[in-house]
Amino acid sequence: MSKKLWLSLVGIGVISSGFIVSDVGAEGREGTTEVQVNFVRDGDPGDPDGALRFEQVIEDFSFGEQSISSSSQTYTVTDGIERFVEVTDNRGTGAGWDVQVRAPQLASENAELTGAELLLTPSSISSDSSNVSNPPSLSGTIRVTDAAQSIISAEVNEGLGTWETNFLPTNLELVVPPGTARVDDYSTTITWMLLSTP
């Protein structure tokens, strides 16, 4: 055996030893390769609901300064800013989820704005274009009261991944009947709740 040939064989042996040999058929024309992946829950494994979370909720909005009227008035937010509620579900169970809202009646330090209605209407919902999960459902217009009401809901096998619900400023409304407003500042706080079942 020549020195040149011996070196070539050594090279082949080194290269071959670096691979795991697959199951090849008797005729050498068919083989198989096993492929695996193991997904685990996002976040702390000891906190299964931690993978279901708000990424953001609407921080605030204002109906501005309004003149007292002797007829019923509907006010909308006029700042032109779209607002979003964003939910992530990385639990990997497809169990579904539900977003609910509640708020006490608008009030000043002296009195409630009796009969006034705070209305929220979700405009649209979207996710990354590559998300293959079915989208959650949106409610119609919600009259926010101190009783919790569903506004975004993902049934079983819906709403996996991250979903963003858009609220146009014109879909944030305040209806005020005559005879209730005083010269004062009124406010309330909306509470958003994310439940782990639809």
Q: Tell me, what CATH number does 148's domain have?
A: 2.60.40
Expressed as residue numbers, the domain containing 153 is 48-195
- Exposure letters 175-192 (e unless 16+ CB within 10 A, then b): ebeeeebeeeebebeeeb
In a domain, 146, yes or no: yes
Residue 110 within any structural domain of the chain:
yes
Residue 9 lies in a domain: no
**Which is more confident, 29 or 159?**
159
Is residue 39 one of the residues assigned to a domain?
A: no
For the chain, state the CA radius of gyration. Answer: 30
**pLDDT at residue 115, rounded to an integer:** 97
Q: What is the mean pLDDT of residues 12-23?
A: 49
Q: Which two tokens stand for residue 23?
A: 């199951």
In a domain, 108, yes or no: yes
- Asked, for residue 30, whether it belongs to a domain, the answer is no
What's phi and psi for 2, nearest 5 deg? Answer: -75, 160
Count the domains in the chain.
1
Give this prediction's pTM: 0.79
- The answer to whether position 158 is within a domain reads yes
Report pLDDT digits (tens) over 86-130. 999 999 999 999 999 999 999 999 999 999 999 999 999 999 999
Distance of CA 37 to the CA centre of its chain: 26
Residue 130 lies in a domain: yes
**pLDDT given for residue 45 in this prediction:** 59
Provide the pLDDT for residue 29. 80
C-alpha 198, offset from chain centre = 14
What pLDDT is recorded for position 175?
Answer: 96
Is residue 187 a contact partner of residue 85, using CB atoms and an 8 Å limit? no
CB 142 within 8 A of CB 39: no
- Sheet containing strand 52-56, strands side by side: 52-56, 83-89, 161-167, 124-126
> How confident is the prediction for the chain on average, in pLDDT?
86
Give pLDDT, residue 3.
40
Range with the poorest average pLDDT among 8-17, 123-132, 153-162: 8-17
